[in-house]
Amino acid sequence: MRFSLLLALLGALVAALFAVSLLVGPAGLTPAQSLAALIRGEGLAETLVMREIRLPRALLAVMIGASLGLAGAAMQGYLRNPLAEPGLIGVSGSAALGAVLALHTGLAASFMLGLPLAALAGAAAAVGLILVLAGPGGGSITLILAGIAVSAMAGALTSLVLNLSPNPFAASEIIFWMMGSLADRSMVHVWLALPLMVVGWALLASLGRGLDALTLGEDAAATMGISLVRLRLVLVAGVACVVGAGTAVAGAIGFVGLVVPHILRPVVGAQPSKLLAASTLGGAAMVLAADIAVRLILPERDLKLGVLTAIVGAPLFLHLIYRTRREGL
Amino acid sequence: MAHPTARITLASPRASRLLALAASLSLGGVAAQAGPPERVVSINLCTDQLAMMLAAPGQLISVSHIAADPLMSVMAEEAARYRLNYGQAEEVHALIPDLVLAGPYTSRYTVGLLRRLGVEVRELPIVERLDDIPETLALMGMWLGREDAAQTLVAEYRTGLAALAPDHDHRPRAVLHYANNYTSGTQTLAHQILSFAGFANIAEEAGLSGGGTLPMEQLIMLMPDLVISGQRYPGLTRAEDVIDHPAMEALRDRHAGATVTDAEWVCGTPAVLSAIARLTALHEGGS
């Protein structure tokens, strides 16, 4: 009962932030105008602003936030380590590398899903590599060190590709790919990301029972009929789908998958299956809130989302490292 | 950081003096001349084009590689006949120039280093008005010792501009929409091209004087009659995504006319006349 109340509250929070996100912008529309334009299509200019600029932005914030929250909760459940997060361990960075390669080699232009699939390949390579290196229930140090190496390599190669591009704007986009932004995205990006995200959400949501069993230990989980190999495969595929699709259209946004499960874990009683659902909604709320904040703080400058999420997330990350060290993990 | 730089500045003048000595010996002392420069190197797109228009045969020995890019330069073919440089102090110095032409946005480090190495560097100011183009041509003519050639170009430019003289009562509202939602305000050459061709610049309504960003939401609320989009470059970037954003496409499909800017808009050279002519034709075509 308490869990369903939590989900209802989180759902209401997401709905409220979604509405605020639709109402914030430099066009200076009143809420009544915005609503009339969005729903009934009143006024060409107003309708274009609401339907083609603000709606995709709010939708992407929900989709990407939900994806990052869910991916963080799933990885932490599998590794039984609260430090596992797609941005920190280089999964988002590798997805960005895949996306940048697709954009600057012409793959993205040659077929519809070229961009998100290339980002998915980058994310899958990174998450697979990390899981192999860290092993199930792997120690924090291996996980973080592997993550640092993968992040550094992906970041360097992304910069290299962008510097080699003949496009004069490419090099200045390094910051977008490393920090993420939802400014001026369109419905095209929503449709580009959605199919892979839906697949990823379904895969990750199916992990609940397995992750719950895993809290009792690998042997106990195995006696309950949970295949660890299969669990890992589904996790890799699911994380690669959601992080790949999200990063392909909005760049790498860090710390969402760390902060959200950390805040919600005590509320759901540390049960991974419940944490998956709660973190999905929590992630959506966090990215919506961050995206509203970047528009309120610097309305015309396109402040990157990753700046805000890192300011919130990095101190929390340090705190977690301190605590895991004290607990001798 | 400061330490190695200081070492370079200490070591280089000595090396440069040796090089300058070698140069003056091998070239018979051209460096100490009072006449026109004989080895001119240009490292800025706009000085590249003006120098190519005005220099005597053999006087200009190198232009920047950007001058050979047809997306940015109206004289890409001519530029291909020159040695192309990448504007690095070391490679420019190795060409033993007696005059280097740069722009106000050329890297301060490059300009400073070249000057410390004893190379004469002249910086051409940015042209913000159509009326400044004759002056700019004359200035370049003076630097190159080609005053007569400059006067011919000035006369041609004045005639060309007068032939396009504005005669418009109706002024459709146009917006310049470049990558990253960048636009040109009232104190820019692009604004002057637009105005001369009979259009009102929407950036003026948004209160922009120099270059600046005009958020897409605001641009759409202003409902321009003509969208002049920035040039696209190879590879897909998020910066240029805004040019083809569905909201902009809908604006072009359902309300506004459309055209693109190109290399003719970039520099204050007589090439702006063809940009004005194309826009004027669009105006008379009833946009």
Per-residue pLDDT tens for A296-306?
A: 998 878 899 99
Contact across the interface for A299 and B215, Cβ inside 8 Å: yes
- B165 is a domain residue: no
| pLDDT digits (tens), chain A, 329 positions | 589 999 999 999 999 999 999 999 888 899 999 999 999 999 999 999 999 999 999 999 999 999 999 999 999 999 888 888 998 889 999 999 999 999 999 898 888 889 999 999 999 999 989 888 877 656 777 888 888 999 999 999 999 999 999 888 998 899 999 999 999 999 999 999 999 999 999 999 999 999 999 999 888 998 999 898 899 899 999 999 999 999 999 999 999 999 999 999 989 988 999 999 999 999 999 999 999 999 999 887 889 999 999 998 999 888 888 887 777 55
C-alpha angle B120/B125/B131, rounded to 5°? 135
Contact across the interface for B241 and A184, Cβ inside 8 Å: yes
Contact B266, B64 (CB under 8 A): no
Distance CA B110, CA A47 (A): 49
pLDDT score, position A301: 80
State which residues of chain B have pLDDT below 70: 1-34, 286-287
Contact across the interface for A188 and B246, Cβ inside 8 Å: yes
Distance CA A95, CA A91 (A): 6
By the CB < 8 Å criterion, does B234 face chain A?
yes
Q: Which residues of B touch A54 (CB under 8 A)?
A: 217
Contact across the interface for A44 and B223, Cβ inside 8 Å: yes
Q: In this complex, how many residue pairs, one in chain A and one in chain B, have their CB atoms less than 8 Å apart?
A: 83
Q: What domains are there in chain A, each with its CATH number?
A: 2-326 (1.10.3470.10)
- What's the CATH code of the domain at B185? 3.40.50.1980
Distance CA A289, CA A61 (A): 9
Q: Find the residue in B nearest to A166 (Cα).
A: B234
- B2 is a domain residue: no
Contact across the interface for B245 and A52, Cβ inside 8 Å: yes
By the CB < 8 Å criterion, does B105 face chain A?
no
DSSP code of B55? P
B65–chain A nearest CA distance, Å: 12
pLDDT score, position A322: 84
Whether this prediction's pTM lies above 0.80 is answered by yes
Split into its structural domains, chain B has a count of 2
Residues B42 and B153 in one domain: yes
Residues B14 and B137 in one domain: yes
Contact A239, A200 (CB under 8 A): yes
By the CB < 8 Å criterion, does A30 face chain B?
no
- B3 is a domain residue: no
Give the pair of three-digit tokens for residue A77.
Answer: 């459940």
B163–chain A nearest CA distance, Å: 36
By the CB < 8 Å criterion, does B242 face chain A?
yes
Where would I find the H helices in chain B? 2-26, 45-54, 76-79, 89-94, 108-116, 133-144, 147-163, 189-196, 202-205, 216-222, 238-241, 246-254, 272-284
pLDDT score, position A205: 96
Residues B150 and B14 in one domain: yes
Q: Which of B158, B189, B209 is the last residue of a domain?
A: B158
Residues B138 and B271 in one domain: no
Residues B47 and B153 in one domain: yes
- B167 is a domain residue: no
By the CB < 8 Å criterion, does B179 face chain A?
yes
Give the structural domain span for B105.
Answer: 10-19+36-158
- B118 is a domain residue: yes
Using alpha carbons, list the distances in angstroms from residue A275 to A71, A117, A184, A267, B167.
11, 28, 32, 9, 70
ipTM of this predicted structure: 0.85
Per-residue pLDDT tens for A155-190?
A: 999 999 999 998 889 988 999 999 999 999 999 999
B231–chain A nearest CA distance, Å: 11
Q: Which of B128, B158, B188 is the last residue of a domain?
A: B158
Residues B246 and B198 in one domain: yes
Q: Which residues of B touch A49 (CB under 8 A)?
A: 217, 220-221, 247
Pairing of β B211-213 and β B182-184: antiparallel
pLDDT score, position A138: 61
B192–chain A nearest CA distance, Å: 25
Report CA Rg, chain B.
22
By the CB < 8 Å criterion, does B187 face chain A?
no
Distance CA B62, CA B41 (A): 5
Distance CA A296, CA A287 (A): 14
Residues B15 and B140 in one domain: yes
Q: Which of B135, B158, B181 is the last residue of a domain?
A: B158
Residues B88 and B148 in one domain: yes
By the CB < 8 Å criterion, does A48 face chain B?
yes
Select from A52, A109, A176 the Cβ nearest to the Cβ of B247: A52
pLDDT score, position B4: 38
Q: Which residues of A touch B239 (CB under 8 A)?
A: 169, 172-173
pLDDT score, position B265: 93
Chosen from A22, A44, A177, A184 to mutate, greatest number of chain B CBs within 10 A: A184
Q: Which residues of B touch A25 (CB under 8 A)?
A: 215, 217
Residues B148 and B251 in one domain: no
Q: Find the residue in A nearest to B215 (Cα).
A: A300
- B168 is a domain residue: no
Residues B143 and B181 in one domain: no
Residues B133 and B246 in one domain: no
Give the pair of three-digit tokens for residue B72.
Answer: 């940015």
| Helix%, strand%, coil% for chain A, nearest 5 | 75, 0, 25
pLDDT score, position A109: 87
- B103 is a domain residue: yes
Residues B137 and B208 in one domain: no
The residue whose two tokens read 């890297």 is B107
Q: Which residues of B touch A170 (CB under 8 A)?
A: 235, 237
- B84 is a domain residue: yes
